[in-house]
Amino acid sequence: MPLLTQNKRIERVTSTAELFSKHPHLKERAQQFVSRSPEAVDTKQLLYVQQRECAATTPADNSVSILGSDDATTCHIVVLRHTGSGATCLAHCDGSSTWTEVPLIVSAVTSRSNPAKEGRLELHLVGGFDDDRSTSHSLSLSILAAFQKQKEEIQLETCCITGESSLYETLTERFCPSSGVNVKTGQVFPASFTCRGPAEELRSARTFSGAEMVEVYDSSRELVKIDPCRWTPNNDMAFWLSQDDETILQYLSTSPHAEPPHFVHHIKSTIQFLLDHPTADGLFPGGQPQLYRRAEDGRWKRA
């Protein structure tokens, strides 16, 4: 089935500029989106989604009201929601395996939707900017093409991506495309987060080591689930801990001029975690996943 917007088919395009030219309402909506100030998200309602992760749930969830992610400089945040069931998935895509990730996102929503419920699938895309290597632009086109290949009919509602996702005209300013989605209401909005857990460093280490996208939430049990993963010991990484910020930005970022202020600290803490845990075996006793449940104080606690 085709990818649609305002019930009109979106044909394959060769650039995001062509997309916005053919569908100017998408550009207007993108400009409206970035003009809004980010909303601070209450940690007690949030499930934060890291790079190369996705999470899905429904309005019946008593532990999660908001799915959110940020730091989408060359990455894209993808939100797919069924208006009838309210089933919602948020993913943070970096282009590592778009053609397998998009079906995973669609399946996460359709599997949680009652076929008898009337409604439609609505898509929201946020992230990317016009970087020198066109990394974002290529990802934008790949995501659009992958959704066009799905058998389900999907309506593109928000397209705040490469060319329209930045509040800034130059790369001298740092920006941080972000998005949250209220699972109860379906509202998609710019968001800010003070917590990126649970198990932030472990999840970051998994991605840093090259793992594929995974679904990190079991909505039926309302548990964050981190499955066993593997990485190879590499003491050479210690080299980066002594490097200055500019060096790390230059060599370990796809967008060195656009990263948020906490990027270098995040990279160094992830590397230190990998050095402290040369293998992941001890983090998953008996080969079992790490599980986290929402505690009475609103924090995620090890189950």
Sequence-distant (≥ 6) Cβ neighbours of residue 80 within 8 angstroms: 88, 89, 105, 106, 108, 109, 121, 122, 123, 124, 154
Tens-digit pLDDT profile for residues 223-248: 999 999 988 888 888 887 787 778 87
Q: Is 198 left (phi over 0), alpha (psi -120 to 50) or beta?
A: beta
Which pLDDT belongs to residue 1? 63
Which pLDDT belongs to residue 132? 62
In percent, the amount of the chain with pLDDT more than 70 equals: 90
Higher per-residue pLDDT: 252 or 161: 161
Q: 191: which strand partners?
A: 39
Sequence-distant (≥ 6) Cβ neighbours of residue 250 within 8 angstroms: 256
Sort 135 into a burial class: Cβ within 10 Å, 0-12 / 13-18 / 19+.
buried
Tens-digit pLDDT profile for residues 130-140: 666 667 788 99
Domain ranges of the chain: 3-302
Q: Indicate if the pLDDT at residue 167 is higher than 50.
A: no
pLDDT band for 177, please (50, 70, 90 cuts): confident
Sequence-distant (≥ 6) Cβ neighbours of residue 96 within 8 angstroms: 52, 212, 213
Strands 188-189 and 179-182: antiparallel
Produce one character per residue of 106-132: b if its CB has 16 or more CB atoms within 10 Å, e if not: bebbbebbeeeeeeebbbbbbbbbebe
Q: Indicate if the pLDDT at residue 78 is higher than 70.
A: yes
What's the rounded mean pLDDT across residues 97-106?
A: 96
Dist CA 185 CA 208 (whole Å): 33
Which pLDDT belongs to residue 131? 63
Q: Give the class (CATH, top level) of 3-302.
A: alpha beta
Higher per-residue pLDDT: 106 or 275: 106
Place of tokens 């996705």: 54
What's the rounded mean pLDDT across residues 184-188?
A: 97
Q: Indicate if the pLDDT at residue 173 is higher than 70.
A: no
Higher per-residue pLDDT: 209 or 295: 295
What's the rounded mean pLDDT across residues 275-297?
A: 92
Q: Indicate if the pLDDT at residue 19 is higher than 60.
A: yes
Longest dimension (CA), the chain: 58
